[in-house]
Amino acid sequence: MNHRQRVGLIFPAHDRTAWITAQRSARPSILDPFKPHGFFLEEERAASGQVVSSATILLTNKECPWRCLMCDLWKNTTAQTVPHGAIPRQIDYALSQLRARPKQIKLYNSGSFFDSAAIPPADFPAIARTVAFAKHVVVESHPRLVGGEVLRFRDLLADSLEVAMGLETVHPQVLPRLNKKFELAHFSQAAGFLRDNGIAVRAFVLVKPPFLNEAEGLEWAVKSAEFALSCGATVVSLIPTRPGNGALERLMATGEFSPPRLATLEKALELALEVRGDGRIFADTWDLEQFSRCPICFEKRRQRIHAMNLSQRIPPAIDCLVCGSKTN
Ligand code: SF4
Ligand SMILES: [Zn+2]
């Protein structure tokens, strides 16, 4: 089956939002608006080249207004805007549980930090105070919400700001089908605005979004990383496309989507590292085992990917005697 045949087997050309929303299950749980729905510490290579401790806090807030084809973040959101003061309390709660004051802090909110229905702008000063110890703060935003509010938040912070944006893919047929509702020009304009204002840019790139086979998924992940770097992104985070939102399960049933193999993510990281210039390329290792087909070499491969994330170098390939190749 060629690409043209694969695209649009079941997925509609129009009213994608309604189709995507119709595939959803019920919202899984009622969340406490005064508690984040997740938080953890990890290590990350900073722009300086040092490996620093980094906290990620997954804020609880109102659902994102977009309906992207591959997104399951709505599962951990609320139907209504959280009360004034709730977001700073969530951050305080996570930091007290983590008992850490890491150099970097990511405030990820399952949507856009600059969506006023998600993060009340009146809370910006209190949020900035709760993270004043951090050298670098990372938030996420849809490119179309990058504007003056970003500068207001930047000016409240003690140190530097980075905005992460989901580029997802530069594939000209797949990007519109993801229902992101932006064009590449929006991404590059938003990235330019951020750079011009001294704000770092991080791009999320999908490895093997729907409608692409394994080889295309690899090829377009690398092309997308290159595009993000050319727009001035200093970090590209490669995300293996994960099912879980209902829509992707429907596309799996019709052959329009299958998750990438671990080897594809591993190779995408290697190839993007080769073209990174001064940028950093990371592969997302969360729940990585679902992409592996060989339990014997999985842990070695996970460690190899982690090592590439931290060192930005490419170690020798893993040659597995059980799955019989350098890839699995
Ligand atoms: S903009 Fe981001 S958070 Fe919102 S639906 Fe799309 S992928 Fe999900
Ligand atoms: Zn193996």
Tens digits of pLDDT across the chain (328 residues)? 445 445 457 888 889 999 999 999 988 878 999 999 999 999 999 999 999 999 999 999 999 999 999 999 999 999 999 999 999 999 999 999 999 999 999 999 999 999 999 999 999 999 999 999 999 999 999 999 999 999 999 999 999 999 999 999 999 999 999 999 999 999 999 999 999 999 999 999 999 999 999 999 999 999 999 999 999 999 999 999 999 999 999 999 999 999 999 999 999 999 999 999 999 999 999 999 999 999 999 999 999 999 999 999 999 999 998 886 655 4
| Residues 171, 175: Cα–Cα separation, whole Å | 6
| Surface-to-core class of residue 145, CB atoms within 10 Å of its CB (0-12 exposed, 13-18 middle, 19+ buried) | buried
C-alpha to C-alpha distance for 112 and 105, rounded to whole angstroms: 16
Phi, psi (deg, nearest 5) at residue 264: -70, -40
Q: What's the rounded Cα separation, in Å, for the pair 268 and 270? A: 5
Q: Would you state the pLDDT for residue 12? A: 85
- 3-state secondary structure (DSSP) of residue 84: coil
DSSP code for 82: P
> Whose C-alpha lies nearest to ligand 1, atom 3?
111
Q: What three-state secondary structure class fits 295?
A: coil
Give residue 254's pLDDT.
Answer: 94
| 295 Cα–ligand 2 center, Å | 7
Q: Which of 17, 58, 142, 237 to mutate to test the pocket of ligand 1 (most atoms within 8 A of CB)?
A: 142
Q: Which of 226, 231, 218, 139 is nearest to 182 (CA)?
A: 231
List phi, psi (to 5°) of 58.
-95, 100
In the three-class reduction of DSSP (H, G, I as helix; E, B as strand; rest coil), residue 12 is classed as: coil
pLDDT for the residue numbered 1: 44
pLDDT at position 247: 97
260 lines ligand 1 (CB under 6 A): no
**CA 217 / ligand 2 centre spacing (Å):** 21
Helix intervals (H) in the chain: 3-6, 16-22, 86-98, 124-130, 148-156, 174-177, 184-196, 214-230, 247-253, 262-274, 298-311
Q: Token match 């998924």: residue? A: 217
Q: What is the pLDDT of residue 13?
A: 80
